[in-house]
Homo-oligomer: A and B are copies of this chain.
C-alpha cells in the first residue's frame, strides 16, 4: 500500500466522519462566551463527588455516556476509547475507561491530547482497524492547580501571563465515512519544540513555537494555503502565546490574518479574570466539541484546522531547572462533500 503520509501529515483516504460531539463544562465556563454551545453546564465543580479528581473523571464518564446516546453508537459497537488528561498517570481518563469498559488506549500530550486522539482514532478507522472510536480529553481547574502549582486554598496571585485551566471535557465519536456531516481529512503530528522558556506561568510563550512549527508543516505537507480554512484554531496559546505564534509564522511566510483564532482566548471573556485565557486538555476539546463542531455542522464554517498545543513539563522537571518543551498536533475537519 502506498504511504498516506507526506512529511508530518497523514492524509485519510476515506476520511472518518464525526458522528457526534459532546462537551461537559463547569460553572465558570458556562458563564463565558461559549456558554450556549456546550451540551452540559455543571452548576458546581464537584459534580456531587468527594474530590475534584473524582469530579473530573465523572465529567469524562458523562461526556462519553451522552456521546454514545447522541451518536447512536452502543458500547458493543465502540471499538476503541482514546483518552487522556493532565493528571499524573492520566487518572481521569483511565478511571473513566474502567466504567466505559471498551478497549482503551491511554494518551498523554498535555493540552494537545484531543488532537492526538483524533489523529490516531482517524488512522485506526481509515486503516480498517475500527468502525467507531471515541476520542475524549478533560481538565479540571482545581485538580490541575493543586498538582502543578499551589494548594488551591492559598489563593496565590497569578501573573497576567498565566492561563486558567478550564474545567471541561470534550468528546468526539468518529465513525465510517459518510455517516456524519463532518469528516477528518488530515492530521499533522508535531515534533517537540523547546525555546528554552522556564516560566510555568507563561505557557503560551512556551507552546507558541511548537504551534507555529506544526502549522507551517501542515501547509508545506498538504500544499494548502491558509485560505483553504475558515479558521486555524489553536488551543490554547492564549493572549500572550497567540501573537507570538502569529509572528513566528509570518517569518516563515505563513500569514493567517484574521483566520487565526485560539480556544484559550474564546472560552472566557475579559470580565472573568482569566488573565491570558483558558488552558487545559478540556479547553480546546470542549470548544471544538461545542462552538467549532456545531458551526461546521450548521454550515457557518466549511473547514477548520484545529491545532491543539501541549506543554510537556512536570513539577519535577521544573524543580530540576528544565525548560518547558511544547508540542502541537493539527487535525483538518471539514463538512462532508
Q: Does A194 contact B (CB under 8 A)?
A: yes
For A315, the closest partner residue in chain B by CB is B88
Q: Mark A93-110, 1 if CB is under 8 A from B, else 0.
A: 011011001111111111
- Are A108 and B80 within 8 A (Cβ)? no
> What B residues does A8 contact at CB under 8 A?
103
> What B residues does A91 contact at CB under 8 A?
312-314, 316-317
Q: Does A220 contact B (CB under 8 A)?
A: no
- Are B128 and A108 within 8 A (Cβ)? no
- Are B104 and A107 within 8 A (Cβ)? no
* Complex Cα spacing A94 to B326, Å: 9
For A10, the closest partner residue in chain B by CB is B129
**Least Cβ distance of A129 to chain B in Å?**
5
For A90, the closest partner residue in chain B by CB is B108
Q: When the two chains form the complex, which single residue of B4, B54, B131 contacts A129, counting CB atoms closer than 8 Å? A: B4
For A316, the closest partner residue in chain B by CB is B53
For A2, the closest partner residue in chain B by CB is B128
* Complex Cα spacing A124 to B8, Å: 13
* Complex Cα spacing A50 to B320, Å: 9
Q: Does A189 contact B (CB under 8 A)?
A: yes
> What B residues does A295 contact at CB under 8 A?
none
- Are B95 and A106 within 8 A (Cβ)? no
- Are B105 and A189 within 8 A (Cβ)? yes
Q: Mark A101-140, 1 if CB is under 8 A from B, else 0.
A: 1111111111000001000100110111111000000000
Q: When the two chains form the complex, which single residue of B4, B14, B94 contacts A325, counting CB atoms closer than 8 Å? A: B94
- Are B107 and A108 within 8 A (Cβ)? yes
Q: Mark A7-19, 1 if CB is under 8 A from B, else 0.
A: 0101001100000
- Are B316 and A190 within 8 A (Cβ)? no
Q: When the two chains form the complex, which single residue of B80, B87, B312 contacts A94, counting CB atoms closer than 8 Å? A: B312
Q: Does A250 contact B (CB under 8 A)?
A: no
* Complex Cα spacing A129 to B3, Å: 5
- Are A190 and B103 within 8 A (Cβ)? yes
* Complex Cα spacing A191 to B102, Å: 5
* A residues 26-47 touching B (CB-CB < 8 Å): none
Q: Does A207 contact B (CB under 8 A)?
A: no
Q: When the two chains form the complex, which single residue of B89, B95, B120 contacts A105, counting CB atoms closer than 8 Å? A: B120
Q: Does A327 contact B (CB under 8 A)?
A: yes
> What B residues does A13 contact at CB under 8 A?
128
Q: Mark A62-106, 1 if CB is under 8 A from B, else 0.
A: 000000000000000001100010111111001101100111111
Q: Does A152 contact B (CB under 8 A)?
A: no
- Are A189 and B103 within 8 A (Cβ)? yes
Top 10 A-B residue pairs of the complex, sorted by shortest distance between their CB atoms: A127-B127, A103-B189, A89-B314, A94-B312, A88-B88, A98-B192, A1-B128, A106-B108, A97-B192, A4-B128
